[in-house]
A = this chain, B = another copy of it.
C-alpha cells in the first residue's frame, strides 16, 4: 500500500497501459531471452494477439530483435526474441583512491573489452580531463562500436545524483566536484554519477542471472578502506533527504569506541574496515596514527590474510575479531532494514572461511527473531568487479525499470 505523492504524481494518460506493458515485456525478454511471443504471453497472462502488437512495435523501434526458431514437440516452432544489445555500448567508470577503472559493455552489461585502469589523479579537474580523453580514445579505437548509451561513474563518497556532483569523498579529499558536466562536455554522452555502495546494490538487483527473479529488499555491504552500503527497498535505491541513506558504516557499535575517520567514535567502520583490522594487528589505531607510507605500501590487508593463513595467530585474531564485529553490524542492518539478502564484498571476503563462524555467531546473538538469523549472506568476489557492474547498471537499468505512475 503506497501513498500517492501529491507533489509529484503522474496521471494515467492514453499511452500509459502500453508503457507499463512494454516495460514488463522488455524486462522479461532481458532476463529470459531467448523467449518467444507465446511464452511472453503466458508469462504476462495476456493474449498472444496483444503481445504480437506490442512486440512488433518494439521490433520496429529496434529495441529488440528476432533470432532463430526454438524447438517444440508439436506445432509451429516459436521465433525467438532478444534484446538488441549490440548496437550501443555503455561505459562504466570506477574512481577509487589509488586507481580508476574503465570498462565498456553492451546494453546487457556484457563486457566488450578488457578493463583499463590508471592511477587516480589527485586533482579532480585533471582526473576528469584524463577520463574524458581515455573514453574518447577507447571508443575511437573500436570502430565496430556505433554509439554509446551513456557513461556511469561510481565514486566512494556522497553524491547528488540530480546534478551529478560528488558532494564529499573523504578518502579522495574531494568536495563539491561536478563530474557530470565536464564529462558530458568532453565525451558528448549522458553521464550518471552514483555512490559506489549504492551502485553495487543496484547492480545486484538488476543482474540478469538465473536468480534474477529473486526479489525483495537487499543490502550491499562493501568493506575496504571504508565501509560502503547500498540499500534497495521495493526494488528502488534508498537515497534519503540528504543523500546519506544507507550509511550504516557510521552507525555505532559503541559510542565510546575507537576513533573513526568520520571524526566520530565507535562507528561500525572503525571496527571492520581494512584499516581497523590492520590497527588491531598493530595494536594501535591507524586512523589516529597512520603508518609511514613506506610501511603501508608493503603490508596491507591481503598480506595480513596471507599471514593468518600460514599460522600467524595475531593476524588470525585480528581477522576473526573483524568477523565478529562484521556480524554485529549486520545484525543492526537486519534489525532495521530486514532485507532478504545481504551482499558482502571486499578483501576480507577472500578469508571468509576463517571468519564465517564468527560473523554468523555474532549476527545471531543480536538479531531479534530466530528466523532472521538465517538471513542470506552472499559474497561478491572482487573478480566480478561489482563497482564497475554498478556503474554500468546506472546506464542500462532505466530502460527496463517500472514506469512511474500515480
Chain A residues 215-245 with CB under 8 Å of chain B are 215-217, 231-245
Interface size for chain A: under 10, 10 to 19, 20 to 34, or 35 or more residues? 35 or more
B242 pairs with A369, CB closer than 8 A: yes
A235 touches B3 (CB 8 A): yes
Chain B: which residue is nearest A9 at the CB level? B24
Asked if A28 CB lies within 8 Å of chain B CBs, one says: yes
B244 touches A372 (CB 8 A): yes
Residue of B nearest to A241 (CB): B340
A60 CB within 8 Å of chain B: no
| A258 CB → nearest B CB, Å | 13
Interface secondary structure of A, over-half rule: loop
Q: Which B-chain residue is minimally distant from A216 (CB atoms)?
A: B241
Stretch of A11-19, A62-70, A79-87, A134-142 that contacts chain B: A11-19
Which chain B residues border A405 with CB–CB below 8 Å? 20, 402, 405-406
Task: State how many angstroms separate the Cβ of A331 from the closest Cβ of chain B.
Answer: 8
A253 on interface, CB distance cutoff 8 Å: yes
Q: B residues within 8 A CB of A14?
A: 17
Question: Could you tell me if A213 and B7 are in contact, using CB atoms closer than 8 angstroms?
Answer: yes
A43-63 with Cβ < 8 A to chain B = 44-46
B264 A366 Cβ-Cβ under 8 A: yes
Q: Is the CB of B213 within 8 A of A338?
A: no
Interface pick from A102-110, A294-302, A393-401: A393-401
Q: Please tell me if A246 contacts chain B, counting CB pairs below 8 Å.
A: yes
Q: How far is the CB of A201 from chain B (nearest CB, A)?
A: 11
A339 adjacent to chain B (CB < 8 Å): yes
Residue of B with least CB distance to A15? B17
A21 & B27 in contact (Cβ 8 Å cutoff):
no
Considering the chains assembled together, what is the distance between the CA atoms of A266 and B366 in angstroms? Answer: 10
Contacts of A242 in B (CB 8 A): 334, 338, 369, 371-372, 375
User: Do A243 and B338 touch across chains, with their CB atoms under 8 A apart?
Assistant: yes
Interface flag for A101 (CB, 8 Å): no
- Whether A244 touches B338, Cβ cut-off 8 Å, given contacts A4-B27, A212-B6, A252-B253, is yes
The answer to whether A145 has its CB under 8 Å from any CB of chain B is: no
User: Assuming the A-B contacts A20-B16, A45-B11, are A252 and B332 also in contact, with contact meaning beta carbons closer than 8 angstroms in the complex?
Assistant: yes
Q: Which of A326-341 contact B (CB under 8 A)?
A: 328, 332, 334-340
Q: List 14 other contacts, CB 8 Å, given A243-B338, A252-B332.
A: A2-B401, A4-B23, A11-B21, A11-B24, A20-B405, A240-B337, A244-B367, A248-B335, A251-B251, A251-B332, A252-B254, A253-B255, A254-B254, A405-B405
Chain A residues packing against B (C-beta within 8 Å): 1-9, 11-14, 16-18, 20-21, 23-24, 27-28, 31, 44-46, 158, 167-168, 205-206, 212-213, 215-217, 231-248, 250-257, 262, 264, 266, 328, 332, 334-340, 365-369, 371-372, 375, 397-398, 400-406
